[in-house]
Amino acid sequence: MPTWYVHWTTSDGTTHLAGRLDEIPPIGLQRFTYDNSWLTGPGFSLGEGLPLEAGPLSPPGGATNFGLFLDAGPDAWGRRVITRKARPTPSSTTGFILAAADETRQGALRFSDQPDGPFLSEGGPEALESLDDLFREVRQFQQDENAPGQFARLLRAGTSQGGFRPKAVVKAQDGALWIAKFPSETDTYDVETCEAAALDVARQAGLHVPEFQHLRVNDWQAILLVKRFDRTDGGRLGFQSMRTATRVGSDGYADYQMMAATAGYLCGAEGRRAILGAATLNIVVNNTDDHARNFGFLQDANGQWAPSPLFDVVPSPRQSDGTPLQSGMPGRSLEQLLDLDWGVPKAASFVGHIADVAAQVYRFAVDTYGLDGEAADTAEKYRSSLVA
């Protein structure tokens, strides 16, 4: 039975052995056992489904994998990169988690095959100054990921991120890590410019957003750099997705009322307010990619959770179904949102302020970030028709 060791790095850079991860063949079923030093030392649960017990623990709800470990591993894009890089290709979900580069892995979890390390695996961020060369490799990889040739930069920096879109991690001269979000070969509009504008209006509305930079590639494409919010000057913060926190699994979904209840349980009033703000923003800008993995929580060195900054807020200029406000409720509008109880004082004024600012998303996309004016007019007509 394969065994690995799980470590947790604090915000000051101190690393503790948290426990042992076993994989039971042939289906790759995970088992986790807290180390005695963790039970008697830091002494807090790493995340949902991992109560602070002697163990061994099994994934909740009959799942094969713990959600928290999935959050520390790659999603579709990262798996594509790892499939090109790793020989042999990982044969299980745990294998893909372990193949993500340690330096750029999401959250505070780290893995090794010995109790005292070293950490797995090779790879890490590219220098921010090499962004143009990295983008060239990303474009070539999208055209044919099996093509002859080298993708050295991408194979180092692109293994650890979630989502379907092309991404890699870069490091600035001050040591800070940034996620570089690139245009996709399947894009039909300037996605990263629209995302930058959405983050901008969210920030102006008083919502918590990470630091970001917008870099124009050409008249119709851009790269978006988002500073990693799970890192401190000397260490890391724990991370779990809303998908993990709500236990909905990879095939289920959490509506906004479920998310608000979960955030309230973990973070109190701050959590409920964060979800209400995100729901308002996503309705107004028509972000329909607002599934449970695109919300998250950060964990400090005392095991306490707080809502993460907003991320992956991408306005869509076309019709699509997003996360419902409440299970069984068709559609989603600000009127429906205000008919529900969110446990947030002065919810109407809070929602109204966000809605007023967020409604300017395409004006900012044009004036600040250079979105094509004709494309913006078309998108705005559709957006405004949804919230009228």
> CA torsion angle for 185, 78, 67, 33 (degrees, to 10)?
180
State phi, psi for 73 to the nearest 5 degrees.
-115, 180
Residue with tokens 């790269």: 223
CA distance 316 to 320: 8
From the list 330, 294, 331, the residue with the least C-alpha distance to 314 is 294
pLDDT of residue 386: 85
Categorise residue 47: left if φ over 0, alpha if ψ from -120 to 50, beta otherwise: left
Instruction: Give domain limits for the chain.
Output: 3-120, 126-227, 238-387
Q: How many CB atoms lie within 10 A of CB 252?
A: 11
Helix (H) or strand (E) segment spanning residue 126: strand 126-127
CA-based diameter of the chain, in Å?
Answer: 62
Q: At what angle do helices 269-285 and 373-387 cross, to 10 degrees?
A: 120
What is the model's pTM?
Answer: 0.95
* Calpha distance 332→324 (Å, rounded): 6
Q: Into which CATH architecture does domain 126-227 fall? A: 2-Layer Sandwich (3.30)
Predicted local distance difference test score (pLDDT) of residue 294: 95
For residue 271, give the H/E element and its range: helix 269-285
Local confidence pLDDT in tens for the 388 residues of the chain: 899 999 999 999 999 999 999 999 888 999 999 999 999 988 899 999 999 999 799 999 899 999 999 999 999 999 999 999 988 999 899 999 999 999 999 999 999 999 998 999 889 999 999 999 999 999 999 998 887 778 999 999 999 987 889 999 999 999 999 999 999 999 999 999 999 999 999 999 999 999 999 999 999 999 999 999 999 999 999 999 999 999 997 777 899 999 999 999 999 999 999 999 999 999 999 999 999 999 999 999 999 999 999 999 999 988 778 999 999 898 899 999 999 999 999 999 999 999 999 999 999 999 999 999 999 999 999 999 887 5
pLDDT score of 388: 59
CB count in 10 Å sphere of residue 254: 23
